A and B are shown apart, each in its own frame.
Chain A
Amino acid sequence: MSFPVILFFICAAMAVLGAILLIVAREPIHSALSLILVMVSLAILYLLLGAEFIAAVQIIVYAGAIMVLFVFVIMLLNAGVEERTSWSKMAKYAGMPLAIFLLLEIAHWVWRASVGAKVANGAGAAQAAFSTHDLAMALFQQYLFPFEATSILILIAILGALVLAKRSE
């Protein structure tokens, strides 16, 4: 096995472990930390695919900015330990089979697309397609209108949050 493949499996295992811990952990801060672990391992997976820019932005935006605010709010509110409720009947009898079905479906498609093989030998091939310069060109020329529309959408969301927060005071 080559080095990238080993690294892929380590990071994939870390991401899955983080995702499970996120749900299982009872302390909100532990959940937040697990989510950071997931995001950082995803960033390393992007790096393995040759997408340097996306990897860096993934860490800066998600792990570095959004999760810091999560942790900040949890600290500020001093949120206590979660309370567990017993599983509802719905979750037991309908949820579990559906979850297993979903997992099998994902496994099937992953198997067919053989993502692992792409990660293993795709680093060099994907590099050219994913350079920062190309990304910028695509974003600010070909997809300029969707990009600007998204920024306005986000701005509206921020304004909405501000208005809602102000009203309750």
Chain B
Amino acid sequence: MDFISNHAVLVVSLIKIAVLLFVVMTALAYLTWFERKVVARIQSRWGPYYVGAHGLLQPLADGLKFLFKEDLTPPSSDRFVYILAPFLALSLALTTLALIPFGPPSIQVLGQPVFVIANSNIGLLFLFAITSIGVYGVALAGWSSNSKYPLLGGLRSSAQMISYEVSLTLSVVGVLLLAGSFSFNGIIERQAGNIGHWNVWPQIVGFLCYITAAIAETNRVPFDLPEAETELVAGFHTEYSSFKFAMFFMAEYANMITVSCLATILFFGGWLSPLPDSWTWQLYLPGAGLIALGLYCAYDTVKEMRGIARLQLSVVTLMALVAGAICLMPPVMHVIQGPFWFVAKVGLFIFFYVWIRGTLPRFRYDQLMSFGWKLLLPVSLANLVVTALVILLVKR
């Protein structure tokens, strides 16, 4: 016990890292399921269906497949860099999550805040620092494969990420001016109140610039030029197979989660509730939502499922009902509020991402570049100047 109280920072941090990694890895796996389901619905298909009820075991099957596939290394590749690239991509993508506060700092264990791993005064700057070196994963993968299409894909993505990083950073400065702080908690606490106090309203232009640049930064449709399959086979990861390919895949989804978290924190009040504090019934929302999900699953189990799928879905039903009951217990209820709203908002952003993917066609490369430099950059600069002017005038 002495050891634990003496090294509280170390012990609590390690536990938090383990839990966060577990949660994020599971979320990454089910994000692929979610994306395939939603895109399928947009395109009038069923999506994954046969592995488990509603294809719920598909991520597991995919993971096993990636593990057991033959791991090919092109003979002419630069071996060290070739292996380094996927590790770099995934580890940097996961590192950024350490800075994200998933709940209020007031909830503590052993004097350490529970919902954030690294609570820094300049969290936002560190996040940008880590994402700014994230481009190496893609660029080095393209170079080290020593093959035409990966090289072109790597070059494209480096150019694209450099171009859009400028607008991404500039679009956020408006929020920083409003908050007067680089720390995530400072930025969130400034938006306290209800939905009307969020930064989206004064910074709507900044938000639109941010979300556009963020989609480009994460190489997603309609900005997925680095892996435009009609031109470049699979872009920078053409020569990667087996689990190294899966690592790039996971890095892309982890980046999606990071930029969604960032959008939530900067513009949508982070872990704050959108409802006014006086509406106390909102405390029951997380539990009620889970129980509603459980009841729907129960209905589905009885009505639609046959055979083994029935068993699988009843497990999901049970899990949802038990989790819902736990969330309704008074001490848990208060702790769970922050993470509930945070995850709900991030979920909406992820859905938005998938929705965009199901809706928009891909840009042409010259369109991408001229859009980034000639429209997005001037608009985010203008937003910055106007915000600064307004703040100056109001303060006078």
Binding site for B on A (CB under 8 A): 27, 29-30, 33, 36, 40, 43, 52-53, 55-57, 59-60, 63-65, 68-69, 71-72, 75-76, 131-132
What 1/0 flags go to B307-322 for Cβ under 8 Å of A?
0000000000000000
Q: How many residues of chain B are within 8 Å of chain A by beta carbon?
A: 27
Give CA–CA (A132, B181) in the complex, Å: 10
Residues from chain B with a CB closer than 8 A to the CB of A69 are: 162
Given A36-B133, A60-B132, A72 contacting B159 (CB threshold 8 A): yes
Residues from chain A with a CB closer than 8 A to the CB of B243 are: none
Given A72-B158, A75-B151, A132-B182, A36 contacting B136 (CB threshold 8 A): yes
Contact of A56 among B126, B143, B155, B165 (CB under 8 A): B126
Given A56-B125, A60-B125, A65 contacting B132 (CB threshold 8 A): yes
Nearest neighbor of B127 in chain A, beta-carbon distance = A56
Q: Are A72 and B136 in contact (CB under 8 A)?
A: no
Residues from chain B with a CB closer than 8 A to the CB of A53 are: 122, 125
Give CA–CA (A56, B133) in the complex, Å: 12
From residue B26, how far is it (CB to closest CB) to chain A in Å? 30
Q: Are A59 and B155 in contact (CB under 8 A)?
A: no
Give CA–CA (A27, B120) in the complex, Å: 38
From residue B383, how far is it (CB to closest CB) to chain A in Å? 21
Nearest neighbor of B128 in chain A, beta-carbon distance = A60
Q: Are A56 and B122 in contact (CB under 8 A)?
A: yes
B275: Cβ under 8 A from any A Cβ: no
Residues from chain A with a CB closer than 8 A to the CB of B35 are: none
Q: Are B139 and A52 in contact (CB under 8 A)?
A: no
Residues from chain B with a CB closer than 8 A to the CB of A36 are: 133, 136
B142: Cβ under 8 A from any A Cβ: yes
From residue B82, how far is it (CB to closest CB) to chain A in Å? 11
Given A53-B125, A132-B122, A71 contacting B155 (CB threshold 8 A): no
From residue A52, how far is it (CB to closest CB) to chain B in Å? 5
Which 3 A-B pairs rank lowest in CB-CB distance, beginning with the nearest?
Answer: A64-B132, A59-B129, A56-B125
From residue A102, how far is it (CB to closest CB) to chain B in Å? 31
Residues from chain A with a CB closer than 8 A to the CB of B130 are: 59
Give CA–CA (A132, B120) in the complex, Å: 12
Contact of A59 among B81, B132, B143 (CB under 8 A): B132
From residue B142, how far is it (CB to closest CB) to chain A in Å? 7
Residues from chain B with a CB closer than 8 A to the CB of A76 are: 155
B221: Cβ under 8 A from any A Cβ: no
From residue A169, how far is it (CB to closest CB) to chain B in Å? 20
Task: Report B111-170 residues with CB < 8 Å from chain A CB.
Answer: 120-122, 125-126, 128-130, 132-133, 135-136, 139-140, 142-144, 151, 154-155, 158-159, 162, 165
Give CA–CA (A119, B145) in the complex, Å: 41
Give CA–CA (A36, B136) in the complex, Å: 10
Q: Are B121 and A27 in contact (CB under 8 A)?
A: no
From residue B259, how far is it (CB to closest CB) to chain A in Å? 16
